[in-house]
Amino acid sequence: MAMIRACLGRSARVRFVRALMLLILSFLIVARPALADDQPQVLRDTETEAFLNKIAAPLAKSAGLAPGALKVVILQDPEINAFVATGQTIYLQTGLILAAKNANELEGVIAHELGHIEGEDAVRTGDAIKQSTRITLLSLLLGAAAVAAGAGDAGMAIMTGGQQAGMAHFLHYSRQQEGSADASAVRHLNDAHLSGKGMISFFETLKAEEYRLSSSYASTDPFMQDHPMTADRQTMLKADLEKSPWWNAPIDPAKQAEFLRIKAKLYGFVKDPDVTLRVYPESDQSVPAHYARAYAWQRAAYPEKAEAEADALLKTAPQDPYFNELKGQFLLENGHPKEALAPLRIAVKNSSDAPLIGAMLGHALLATEDPKNFAEAERVLKLSVARDREDPLAWYALGTVYARQGDDAHAALATAERYAMNGQDELARMNAETAMKGIPQGTPDYIRAEDIAITSRNKMDSRAK
């Protein structure tokens, strides 16, 4: 009888997790407008973002930006490209990251894009494109493929939302701007005591891409291009970069190891599983290979193999926050939210600033359907949205926790935050006004609800006029 009760309990939990995941998916489908297939997705992943921001920090300092002001965003797009948009934001497309051979090449790209920020060359079209870009959380995004393969429990994995990003036809700069950005890049690399070899070697990759896209290099008129041909820029740059005292500075081995990890993780996500398994065969027992195969197996709906790869990573570093995040992610997606709590708690504890991981822990706590976990879920989700207000599923989960606890006013406020972020002004206004009816006047939450209601109403009136 005890065994039967245990089985029934697990069955109920699995049904709840499935229902929650399907509800989230249905919300996403309803909440977002129809999007063209060629529109980029913004990928969110704590480990990748931390690495990119770390290598960008000394370069941003050289450019005179305040600490933490520069933001590096990843777009899922196979083209080799990077650009800046409004504000101090650099967009790196996944094709560029996968094409890079080492961390120094990424540093060269970031240094160049910082030159565009310094020159105020940023694309001025943020408002026009805000509503047409999607977010995908790399740490919680495998469910769509798994659902298609019949693994419904992985449905929670795909998370989308509104985020400002650039589109392909905004990516061209003038020849003068490109030349100025290159000159700035030389200065930034020197100030950060970094070699320019990566910048030069990456131009070889760009040249190969140009050869692929044009019938022949000789027949392409450089003066008809939006920026200098990469071979010409390479010649000019190399002379300046070779003069640097840091030209022969080696790449930090620890930095390169981190780069190989995030590149493998990204490869496992964006490439077809069979391609990933050929590039990272099981004979390769390195950390990057385990990482890539873990994502490949999960995407291919082989949860046991995916969890085995996560376990192999944990054997190398049991307290690594990102390996624990991966283990918790797979357990959550595969219908084991209770078992996911331990690794996710370790991941949150061992990462200094990881709101996305905290949000995942909040989802897992909610998915256990155990009221004893709701207070912790509320705490970690509130901290998550305080640190990162642009995670729509964190707001959704927080609203769900409030609703489960009977706090309809704060559930409405969390829903208003989510709709406001997605640009759904009417729904944001309605939920904000509902929240104001149940939250004491003058409190910070009441003032926030009032701000959302006023802002949403003004946007609607402006469009009407």
Per-residue model confidence as pLDDT tens digits over 154-180: 333 333 333 333 344 444 445 567 777
Residue 273 pLDDT more than 80? yes
Q: What is the mean pLDDT of residues 114-135?
A: 54
Kindly report, residue by residue over 215-224, the tens digit of the pLDDT. Answer: 544 444 433 3
- Range of 80-84, 89-93, 197-201, 257-261 with top mean pLDDT: 257-261
Question: In the chain, where are the structural domains located?
Answer: 19-242, 272-464
Residue 386 pLDDT more than 60? yes
Residue 70: per-residue pLDDT: 92
Residue 285 pLDDT more than 90? yes
More confident residue, 216 or 447: 447
How much of the chain, in percent, has pLDDT values that exceed 90? 58
CATH 3.40.50.970 holds for 272-464: no
Residue 14: per-residue pLDDT: 47
Residue 217: per-residue pLDDT: 47
Residue 143: per-residue pLDDT: 33
- Range of 193-207, 297-311, 379-393 with top mean pLDDT: 297-311
Residue 237 pLDDT more than 90? no
Output the average pLDDT for the chain. Answer: 80
134-137 vs 41-44, strand pairing mode: parallel
Q: What is the mean pLDDT of residues 330-353?
A: 94
Name the class of domain 19-242. Answer: alpha beta
